[in-house]
């Protein structure tokens, strides 16, 4: 076992980044803990209301000049940022592993996806263009201009500390807005490192700000009248509340929330590749992503009872066999396939779900509470992959978002029954089907009420140039993050009708 | 026998070390045997380029949404390691034999990982195939040099 060198050597004391300056907070400090080693790696301030106000003031002050900066010049700042991110690729990735726990492959993948959003946003001179039409009436022309609005707040989740703010921030600043990011207090270091690069890339002071803290800081931001809109990624309960508050105050909002994702395995699926995709889906990022598989539905469409029983056993055995071999440990060990959950409280919550599953009569086929690690690490935040069988969709573990490395294998005798299971669930973030049949694939994508659809894909993660969708209790808002929809979200459509006498 | 899954990062680190070791080996070969100094040095330089190609391709295409941690099944990396220590007693033909063995194993490694990474983004297996072809080209050249010694 070889562990890659840790880029954080001593305990960092984090500061806010306001108006192009690193500012020490007067707020209380909280610990940031590496969940694999349980060592404190940073101290983060819980910023005060005055500090939030200062960030908003700085962003507001920077906005008029920034919006007048030609889009190409704004894009050049992003080009420089992209280059710096490439140069610091490995450091950025290892920091994610240290503060979040994910494997180094996953962190590097996250860094890449973050960079891709910056790359897409550099196309803003084309993406932001409006459109026009001559002669809508005699001698009258009409055209549409996209204009920035001002200051936006970004409140990301803990599960992708580097990437999630980049679903929004590059598009916000590319379109001429200014941003205030409040990183998750559990994983704030990635955003600090990113903003060091933002600073080096030469963004004007006040365009890109970072204010640390938890719920109280988010609440100060939401109450501020000069913030025009919010991008939030996190739980459904908080997302709903933010959506409501933004509605009351007339702010725009993208609220990407919780999930309970179903993966259907049809009898004609390529089982070997399906299982490999399922391992990434259910256990990648230790199950802590809104696109993770939660319920694996073995569908018996067209099979008689005997055939279905054999098919179910084949899928379940292969799944459990593969899950039981996943190597769990510190993500900076390159041989590791799954890291710890992000903190002790999250682990406790997941343990509660496992207990609930047992109590409700589900069969615990693979018990992840029996910890087996690569390397000698404290067990505090670790769990091994868990598999439940004999689950029904009304059981707690079949219905609620767990956000951990737990898979529930379910049975559906027909495709229609599987669709009903999905639609009875309040979430609608992602769903996948594994099949060799174009007919079933088409039927699935046509009917399923979920925003991100995988066809023989375990993690239906939209690329930066597509919107990150979501439906039902998984999304509140109209436009989504990433790509063209983000450009629309961060701009107002102004229509001009023109006639010259 | 249980087939282990090897992570993408393990494969990339192995490939980088393989190229570093190969580069050093050919530099030593060039120092020791003047007969084909330029050929050996060109192989050393090519290994540096191979390393860059593999590392760059990985960095530019890695994504956490594909099966990076679960693609490389059934590989035992020890199978691709060749002893390449040159001693004072190593003869020219022994050095060439070692080099051929190195290229055979390296070529096999890159072919095997190219096959297993087909489900990842297209650039990944393409990069592996490209290096496999270069290694195969070297093997043929080295075999021809070895034949000349007989």
Q: What is the pLDDT of residue B118?
A: 81
One pLDDT digit (tens) per residue for chain A, 501 residues: 689 999 999 999 999 999 999 999 999 999 999 999 999 999 999 999 999 999 999 999 999 999 999 999 999 999 999 999 999 999 999 999 999 999 999 999 999 999 999 999 999 999 999 999 999 999 999 999 999 999 999 999 999 999 999 999 999 999 999 999 999 999 999 999 999 999 999 999 999 999 999 999 999 999 999 999 999 999 999 999 999 999 999 999 999 999 999 999 999 999 999 998 999 999 999 999 999 999 999 999 999 999 999 999 999 999 999 999 999 999 999 999 999 999 999 999 999 999 999 999 999 999 999 999 999 999 999 999 999 999 999 999 999 999 999 999 999 999 999 999 999 999 999 999 999 999 999 999 999 999 999 999 999 999 999 999 999 999 999 999 999 999 999 999 999 999 999
Neighbours of B84 (CB within 10 A): 17
Which residues of chain A neighbour B60 with C-beta distances below 8 Å? Answer: 112
Judged by CB atoms closer than 8 Å, whether chains meet at A108 and B9 is answered as: yes
- pLDDT band of B116, cuts 50, 70, 90: confident
Q: What is the pLDDT of residue A480?
A: 97
Residue B4 has pLDDT above 70, yes or no: no
Note if A290 is an active site residue. Answer: yes
CATH number at residue B39: 1.20.1260.10
For A261-455, CATH gives 3.40.309.10
- Which of A91, A161, A280 best tests the B interface by mutation, with the highest count of B CBs <10 A? A280
Interface residues from chain B to A (CB-CB < 8 Å): 2, 4-10, 13, 58-71, 73, 119
Q: What is the pLDDT of residue B1?
A: 40
Query: Computed from CA positions of residues A190, A192, A198, A200, in that sequence, does the dihedral angle turn out positive or negative?
Result: negative
Strand segments (E) across A273-402: 293-299, 363-366, 386-389
Q: Which residue of B has its CA nearest to A293?
A: B65
Residue ranges per domain, chain A? Answer: 12-257+474-499, 261-455
Residue among A77, A178, A278, A290 flagged as catalytic: A290
0.90 cut: is pTM over it? yes
Which residues of chain B neighbour A279 with C-beta distances below 8 Å? Answer: 67, 69-70
Do residues A167 and A486 lie in contact, with contact meaning Cβ atoms separated by under 8 Å? Answer: yes
In degrees, to the nearest 5, what angle opens at C-alpha A187 toward C-alphas A184 and A188? 75
Do residues A271 and A86 lie in contact, with contact meaning Cβ atoms separated by under 8 Å? Answer: no
Mean pLDDT (chain B) is: 90
Beta strands A16-18 and A21-23, pairing class:
antiparallel
Beta strands A261-265 and A430-434, pairing class:
parallel
For A12-257+474-499, CATH gives 3.40.605.10
Judged by CB atoms closer than 8 Å, whether chains meet at A105 and B69 is answered as: yes
- pLDDT band of B121, cuts 50, 70, 90: confident
Nearest CB to A325; choose among B5, B9, B63 = B5
Distance from CA of B115 to the nearest CA of A (A): 14
Nearest CB to A109; choose among B6, B10, B64 = B64
ipTM entry = 0.88
Distance from CA of B149 to the nearest CA of A (A): 42
Judged by CB atoms closer than 8 Å, whether chains meet at A112 and B62 is answered as: yes
Total domains, chain B: 1
Distance from CA of A110 to the nearest CA of B (A): 6
Q: Which long-range contacts (CB under 8 A, 24 or more apart) does A304-311 make?
A: A307/A267, A308/A413, A311/A267
Domain that holds residue B75: 5-148
- What span, in angstroms and rounded, lies between the C-alpha atoms of A296 and A261? 9
Q: Which residue of A has its CA nearest to B13?
A: A334
């Amino acid at each position: 076992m070889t562990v890659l060198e840790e880029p954080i050597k001593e305990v960092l004391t984090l500061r806010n980044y306001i108006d192009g300056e690193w500012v020490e907070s007067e707020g209380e400090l909280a610990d940031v803990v590496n969940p694999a080693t349980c060592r404190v790696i940073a101290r983060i301030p819980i910023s005060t209301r005055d500090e939030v106000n200062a960030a908003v003031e700085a962003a507001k002050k920077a906005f008029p000049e920034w919006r007048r900066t030609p889009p190409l010049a704004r894009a050049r700042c992003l080009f420089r940022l992209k280059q710096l991110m490439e140069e610091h690729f490995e450091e950025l990735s290892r920091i994610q592993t240290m503060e979040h726990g994910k494997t180094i492959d996953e962190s590097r993948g996250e860094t890449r996806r973050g960079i891709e959003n910056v790359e897409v946003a550099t196309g803003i001179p084309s993406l932001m263009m409006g459109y026009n039409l001559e002669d809508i009436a005699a001698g009258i022309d009409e055209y549409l201009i996209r204009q920035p609005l001002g200051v936006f707040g970004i409140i990301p989740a803990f599960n992708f500390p580097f990437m999630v703010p980049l679903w929004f921030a590059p598009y916000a600043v590319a379109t001429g807005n200014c941003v205030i990011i409040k990183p998750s207090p559990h994983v704030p270091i990635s955003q600090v490192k990113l903003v060091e690069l933002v600073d080096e890339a030469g963004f004007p002071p006040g365009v890109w700000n970072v204010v640390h803290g938890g719920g109280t800081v988010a609440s100060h931001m939401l109450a501020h009248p000069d913030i025009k809109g919010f991008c939030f990624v996190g739980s459904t309960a908080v997302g709903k509340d933010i959506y409501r508050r933004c509605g009351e105050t007339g702010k725009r909002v993208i609220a990407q929330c919780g999930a309970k994702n179903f993966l259907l395995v049809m009898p004609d699926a390529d089982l070997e590749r399906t299982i490999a995709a399922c391992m990434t889906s259910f256990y990648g990022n230790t199950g802590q992503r809104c696109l993770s598989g939660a319920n694996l539905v073995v569908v018996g469409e067209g099979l008689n009872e005997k055939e279905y029983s054999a098919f179910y056993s084949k899928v379940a055995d292969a799944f459990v066999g593969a899950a039981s071999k996943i190597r769990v440990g510190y993500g900076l060990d390159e041989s590791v396939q799954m890291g710890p959950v992000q903190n002790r409280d999250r682990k406790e919550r997941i343990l509660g779900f496992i207990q609930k599953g047992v109590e409700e009569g589900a069969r615990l086929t693979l018990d992840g509470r029996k910890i087996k690690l690569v390397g000698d690490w404290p067990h505090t935040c670790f769990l091994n992959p868990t598999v439940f069988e004999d689950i029904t969709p009304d059981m707690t573990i079949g219905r609620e978002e767990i956000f951990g490395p737990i898979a529930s294998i379910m049975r559906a005798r027909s495709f229609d029954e599987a669709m009903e299971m999905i639609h009875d669930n309040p979430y609608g973030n992602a769903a996948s089907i594994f099949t060799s049949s174009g007919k079933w694939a088409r039927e699935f994508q046509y009917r399923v009420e979920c925003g991100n659809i995988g066809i023989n894909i375990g993690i239906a993660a939209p690329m930066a140039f597509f919107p990150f969708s979501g439906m039902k209790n998984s999304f509140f808002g109209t436009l989504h993050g990433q790509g063209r929809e983000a450009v629309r979200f961060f701009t107002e459509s102004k229509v001009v009708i023109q006639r010259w006498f | 026998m249980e087939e282990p899954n090897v992570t993408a990062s393990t494969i990339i680190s192995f490939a980088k070390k393989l190229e570093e070791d190969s580069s050093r080996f050919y530099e030593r070969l060039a120092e020791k045997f003047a007969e084909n100094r330029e050929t050996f040095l060109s192989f050393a330089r090519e290994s540096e380029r191979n390393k860059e190609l593999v590392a760059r391709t990985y960095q530019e295409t890695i994504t956490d949404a594909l099966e990076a941690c679960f693609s490389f099944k059934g590989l035992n990396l020890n199978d691709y390691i060749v002893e390449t220590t040159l001693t004072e007693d190593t003869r020219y033909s022994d050095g060439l034999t070692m080099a051929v063995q190195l290229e055979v194993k390296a070529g096999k490694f890159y072919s095997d990982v190219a096959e297993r990474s087909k489900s990842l983004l297209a650039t990944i297996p393409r990069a592996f195939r490209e290096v496999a072809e270069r290694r195969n080209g070297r093997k043929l050249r080295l075999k021809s040099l070895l034949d000349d010694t007989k």
